Amino acid sequence: MSSEHSASRLYYRAWIGALSVLIAAGLASYLRQLDYGLGLTGMSRDVSWGLYIGQFTFAVGIAASAVMLVLPCYLHNAKAFSKIVLYGEFIAISAVASCMLFIFADMGQPGRVLNMIFYASPRSIMFWDMISLSGYLAINAVCAAVTLRAERNELPPPAWLRPIVLLSIPWAVSIHTVTAFLYCGLAARPFWFTAILAPRFLASAFASGPALLLLILRAAGIHIEPGARGKLATVITYAMALNVFFVLLELFTHFYSGIGHHPLPPVFWISAVLSTAAFFLLLFFRRHLIPACALTFFALWLDKGLTMVTAGFNPSPLGVVTAYTPTAPEIAIAAGIWSAGALLATVLFRRATAVRAYGSTEVVEEVLI
Amino acid sequence: MNLTRSGFLRFLTAPLVLLSRRRACAAPNRRWALVIDNRRCMQDAGCSACIQACHRAHNVPRIPDARHEVKWLWKERFQNLFGAEAVPVAAQNRLALALCNHCDNPPCTRVCPTAATWKRPDGVVMMDWHRCIGCRYCMAACPYASRSFNWIDPKPYITGPTPDFPRRTKGVVEKCNFCEERLAVGKAPACVEACPERSLVFGDLNDPQSEVRQLLNSRFTIRRHPELGTRPSVFYVV
């Protein structure tokens, strides 16, 4: 056993330990919230959704972005992606699991969650969000499990899997579209009430998701073929270009119409500037892909995870601006849920690397443990 | 057989005619509405009899922290209710009552994932506090900020509870119910009864003889945000 291996094992243990601590802290805070009520958070009568719903929305985007691997791999036969498509599906599974936890954390009466099924209301977009998210989780779980099993048996995946994989492509688009419909169908909230919200969501998801994948693969020390890396960088660049373009469209209508009755929050501008910077970094400094990915991810998280939801509530329909600051327990719960998602992803990744390392000595060098 | 053009059309439309006759024969639908005569209302002088009566009758907690406030009926500046352009400058800072509008086309009931809030045929927008999961989607959808969430346990903040009406638990949304519990026994809403100036008029919009219908026929009234297509059942005489 080389010293490099024992070092990576140490990192791995520290990572699992850190996630466990964050999950425990989140769980403790959640028990407090369960006892005291959602008044423990920074939300209020006027800003009635906050960090949880913002993180939920962002996580849906991360989940949807697996399509950026599945589509080239299965529809365009891009061989470069055949090894990493599994990791994309694992991230999708973990992100959808986090989404569900965020929704659960945001509920005032979590014990009544099954009312969503007992009194299913197809007129509510939330009903369709439940359908699309749980369906997406199932599709990805089946695809990933069957692919991995086939790989372990050194066989090609069964033929019946292909239609399911292809189904996951429109389904991925649907989960983020339906999530955008949660917001953009509400005439009461001018900031959300825009038809470009769903395309914007998708563009930012297709940039931030693959960016996260590249960051994770680098951090986990998983080898990625240069061809796949280059193609992913192209996907991120195009998606970021579309995202910046859609934001500009939004700004045009907002300012040129002269209506602009909702002020754009400062973080919106910060995110717009950082997104543009990330786009130029991706376009002209491809050698620095990892910093560009980090900037892409951060800029889009600021927009969708932090600003988009709360900006819809300010000003309130009565013209009142209410400050919203997440409280410490609220942040702890959100961090705990992200950590749970990260732990699930770690376990899944580890399983894949173990299967792939089995019997192939040249790969074992790249593997975490 | 000699088929004329009009006869053919009558034949085609016969089912529709039958259907419309049946609807006309059915018992007349009620649609409850409230007209607030803001010229009579003396709230600026400090009267809040209607609010007190409402909040007492429905066990609405009095929570000092504005972030966690629960309110069914409250005073709001005119310009906040209607927008600065909709009312004369002199009236902008006047206070008027705000409450659930019991919209004819309510966005809140449309978005509720459990049908814990729904519109009755008589126009009352109802809430089931035992079914509500506390997702607060209705609060995001309401363009009138009429809905409150129980961020904390409301029970310690209820003074002199009314035993006839349920108290709420933490984690559910609530709002004005047009006093459906009083309508059921033929009484007018508590706020209407409590007003010393008789500035609140309640009645059936579909009854041509009702006081609300006659007021609407004779006075200029406005509703909050008619451009959103919600068709509120609360009217203001300004």
Closest CA–CA distance from residue B192 to any residue of chain A (Å): 24
- At A134, phi and psi to the nearest 5? -70, -35
Residue A267's Cβ-count burial label (10 Å; 0-12, 13-18, 19+) is: middle
Given a contact cutoff of 8 angstroms between Cβ atoms, the answer to whether B133 and A108 are in contact is: yes
Residue A171 forms contact with B (CB below 8 Å) = no
Given a contact cutoff of 8 angstroms between Cβ atoms, the answer to whether A187 and A227 are in contact is: no
Q: Where are the alpha helices (DSSP H) in A153-225?
A: 161-184, 197-220
The continuous run of DSSP H or E covering A279 comes out as helix A266-284
- If one compares B24 and B146, the residue with the highest pLDDT of the two is B146
pLDDT for res A263: 76
pLDDT for res B66: 93
What's the rounded mean pLDDT across residues A301-310? 94
Return residues 33-62 of B near A (CB < 8 Å): none
> How many Å separate Cα B176 from the centre of its chain?
7
- Say how far apart CA A267 and CA A299 lie, in whole Å: 10
B136's CB contacts (< 8 A; 6+ apart) are A48, A49, A106, A108, B149, B173
Closest CB to A37: pick one of B113, B114, B151: B151
User: Domain limits at B134?
Assistant: 15-237
Return the residue matching tokens 């732990």.
A343
Q: Would residue B6 count as lying in a domain?
A: no
Angle at A45 between CA A27 and CA B201, to 5 degrees: 145
- Say how far apart CA A71 and CA A69 lie, in whole Å: 6
Residue numbers in B near A313 (CB within 8 A): 140
By mean pLDDT, which of A3-7, A279-283, A289-293, B148-152 is the weakest?
A: A3-7
Mean pLDDT of chain B: 89
Helix (H, G, I), strand (E, B) or coil at A155: coil
**Interface probe with A: pick from B129, B133, B172, B230, most Cβ of A within 10 Å:** B133
For the domain made up of A9-368, the CATH class stated in words is mainly alpha
Residue pLDDT, tens place only, A152-202: 888 888 999 999 999 999 999 999 999 999 999 999 999 999 999 999 999
Q: What is the dihedral of CA A330, A335, A336, A338, to 10 degrees?
A: 130
Contact B134 A43 (CB under 8 A): no
Residue B81 forms contact with A (CB below 8 Å) = yes
pLDDT greater than 90 at residue A55: yes
| Closest-CA residue to B218 (of B226, B208, B227, B229) | B208
**CA end-to-end span of chain B, whole Å?**
64
Residue ranges per structural domain of chain A: 9-368
What's the rounded mean pLDDT across residues B163-183? 95
**Interface probe with A: pick from B62, B67, B74, B78, most Cβ of A within 10 Å:** B67
Residue A317 forms contact with B (CB below 8 Å) = yes
- Say how far apart CA A110 and CA A114 lie, in whole Å: 9
What's the rounded mean pLDDT across residues A263-288? 91
Residue B141 forms contact with A (CB below 8 Å) = yes
Given a contact cutoff of 8 angstroms between Cβ atoms, the answer to whether A246 and A199 are in contact is: yes
User: Total domain count for chain B?
Assistant: 1
CATH number at residue B221: 3.30.70.20
What's the rounded mean pLDDT across residues B78-91? 81
Residue B80 forms contact with A (CB below 8 Å) = yes
Angle at A30 between CA B133 and CA A336, to 5 degrees: 115
- Say how far apart CA B216 and CA B233 lie, in whole Å: 12
Closest CA–CA distance from residue A41 to any residue of chain B (Å): 9
What is each CA distance from B5 to B2, B10, B11, B18, in whole angstroms? 10, 9, 10, 20
Closest CA–CA distance from residue A117 to any residue of chain B (Å): 8
Q: Would residue B74 count as lying in a domain?
A: yes
Residues in chain A: 369
Residue B226 forms contact with A (CB below 8 Å) = no
- Say how far apart CA B216 and CA A213 lie, in whole Å: 62
Q: What is the dihedral of CA A233, A238, A242, A248, to 10 degrees?
A: 80
Residue B131 forms contact with A (CB below 8 Å) = yes
Residue by residue, DSSP assigns B14-78 as HHHHHHHHHHHHSPPPP-EEEEEETTT--GGGT--HHHHHHHHHTT----SSGGG---SEEEEEH
Mean pLDDT of chain A: 92
| Closest-CA residue to A346 (of A2, A105, A23) | A23
Parallel, antiparallel or unpaired: strands B125-127 and B117-119: antiparallel
pLDDT greater than 50 at residue B24: no
Contact B67 A317 (CB under 8 A): no
Residue B93 forms contact with A (CB below 8 Å) = no
- Say how far apart CA A20 and CA A234 lie, in whole Å: 35
- Say how far apart CA A312 and CA B136 lie, in whole Å: 14
Contact A37 B152 (CB under 8 A): yes
pLDDT greater than 80 at residue B21: no
pLDDT for res B15: 59
Closest CA–CA distance from residue A201 to any residue of chain B (Å): 19
Residue B115 forms contact with A (CB below 8 Å) = yes
Q: Would residue B151 count as lying in a domain?
A: yes
Q: Where are the alpha helices (DSSP H) in A37-124?
A: 51-64, 67-70, 85-106, 115-118
pLDDT tier for residue A361 given thresholds of 50, 70 and 90: very low
pLDDT tier for residue B25 given thresholds of 50, 70 and 90: very low
Helix (H, G, I), strand (E, B) or coil at A4: helix
Name the closest residue on chain B to residue A33, using Cα atoms: B152
